[in-house]
Amino acid sequence: MYYETLKKISTELSDKPRGILAADESTGTIKKRFDLINLESNFENRRKYRELLFSTPDLGNFISGVILFDETIKQKDKNGKSFCQLLKDNNIHVGIKVDAGAKNLIGSNEEKITEGLDNLNDRMQEYAQLGATFAKWRAVIEITKTNPSNYCIELNSHALARYAKICQHNNIVPIVEPEVLMDGDHDIQKCYEVTSATLDSLFKNLKFQNVYLEGILLKPNMVISGLKCAKQANVNEVAKKTIDCLKNNVPEEVPGVVFLSGGQSDQKATEHLNEMNKFQGLSWKLSFSYGRALQQSVLYKWKGDDNNFNEAQKELLKRSKLNSMATEGEYLLEME
């Protein structure tokens, strides 16, 4: 394990004004996205869509890394250039989702545990050879009347730390993603408490497994009201509570926090990030690692039609640029 290599990659990934594009939808998830535009999810359509994203001119000005799925990291553009090479030529790091998804947690009531530790070291070596410099593992924590349990939080934290250790052993920077879901009618305070407990458990496990904190990135949810909560917290509250939660739980050594969008609208995800970046004196950089908030509007512009290719690329560049401005606290609503 090379500490300097890990630190260099995590710094490059989180340095302002760039952020990460999460394009690592599994075959099941991308089908759900394509269903929205009535497009069949087959190998070629998925390849075409990813080529549209990755060949966007000047994307590297705003995007430091792209997270890929196993199928995508092995695909090529129409000229036969591998996606990995295409991204690297644009000064963009290649990332890979390595978890095998959230499965039912035996011993708990309707909670999930993320699987994928089996053979992870071998798979990691293969991905490193393909050109990956960072990876992602997502744990899912759901808020209901009775959940989450400590059991669910602890087991997911343990797996995240084990994954992080294996990544670093292969000189790959782990993105550590404990996502407290927005689903539900809970208020922002409940989200604060659960996110706080989750981050506390996560960093205890990362320390216990001796993970090098300068060589990770944290990908948390923002502290936000549940989607069905009658009283939605405003942008200032979200920013303030999220920063408070991070200050109380995230060690200073962590170089960057790259938020997921989690089902927020494109605009809200940008507004929240922008507001947080107006806070002074934070030890970690705050940026984005958005999936839906970068891609939703792109998909609707494209609709699977080659004639819309350029317009869809322009849309991706626009959202990437707006979020890039939000990493500096310089985004304004009228830029929409």
Query: Is residue 220 within the footprint of ligand 13P (CB under 6 A)?
Result: no
Nearer residue to ligand 13P within complex by CB, 51 or 177:
177
Interaction residues for ligand 13P, span 145-184 (CB under 6 A):
177
- We find the least distance from the C-beta atom of residue 160 to ligand 13P, in angstroms, to be 13
Q: In whole angstroms, how far apart are CA 262 and each of 55, 181, 182?
A: 25, 7, 7
Query: Is residue 272 within the footprint of ligand 13P (CB under 6 A)?
Result: no
Q: How many CB atoms neighbour CB 224 within 10 A?
A: 26
165 catalytically annotated: no
Q: Spell out the alpha helix ranges (H) of the chain.
A: 3-14, 27-35, 43-54, 70-73, 83-89, 120-130, 150-169, 188-208, 235-249, 266-276, 292-302, 309-326
As a whole number of Å, the end-to-end CA separation of the chain is 44
Query: Is residue 94 within the footprint of ligand 13P (CB under 6 A)?
Result: no
Alpha carbon 12 to its chain's center: 16
User: Given the structure tokens 């290649």, which residue do they identify?
Assistant: 94
Mark the segment that binds ligand 13P (CB under 6 A) among 72-80, 207-215, 260-268, 328-336: 260-268
Query: Is residue 222 within the footprint of ligand 13P (CB under 6 A)?
Result: no
Tell me if residue 239 falls in helix, strand or coil: helix
Q: Which of 46, 48, 272, 292 binds ligand 13P (CB under 6 A)?
A: 292
Nearer residue to ligand 13P within complex by CB, 33 or 303:
33
Query: Is residue 261 within the footprint of ligand 13P (CB under 6 A)?
Result: yes
- We find the least distance from the C-beta atom of residue 307 to ligand 13P, in angstroms, to be 27
Tell me if residue 132 falls in helix, strand or coil: coil
Mark the segment that binds ligand 13P (CB under 6 A) among 70-78, 127-135, 150-158, 286-294: 286-294
User: Nearest-CB residue to ligand 13P?
Assistant: 291
- We find the least distance from the C-beta atom of residue 78 to ligand 13P, in angstroms, to be 26
What is the phi/psi pair of residue 128, to 5°?
Answer: -65, -40
177 catalytically annotated: yes
Query: Is residue 138 within the footprint of ligand 13P (CB under 6 A)?
Result: yes
* Spatial distance between the Cα atoms of 196 and 202, rounded to a whole number of angstroms: 10
Query: Is residue 262 within the footprint of ligand 13P (CB under 6 A)?
Result: yes
Q: Spell out the alpha helix ranges (H) of 170-308.
A: 188-208, 235-249, 266-276, 292-302
User: Given the structure tokens 């009228």, which residue do they identify?
Assistant: 334
Tell me if residue 105 falls in helix, strand or coil: coil
- We find the least distance from the C-beta atom of residue 301 to ligand 13P, in angstroms, to be 17
- We find the least distance from the C-beta atom of residue 268 to ligand 13P, in angstroms, to be 12
Mark the segment that binds ligand 13P (CB under 6 A) among 148-156, 224-232, 271-279, 288-296: 288-296
Residues designated catalytic: 177, 219
What are the residues binding ligand 13P (CB under 6 A)? Answer: 22, 138, 177, 260-262, 290-293
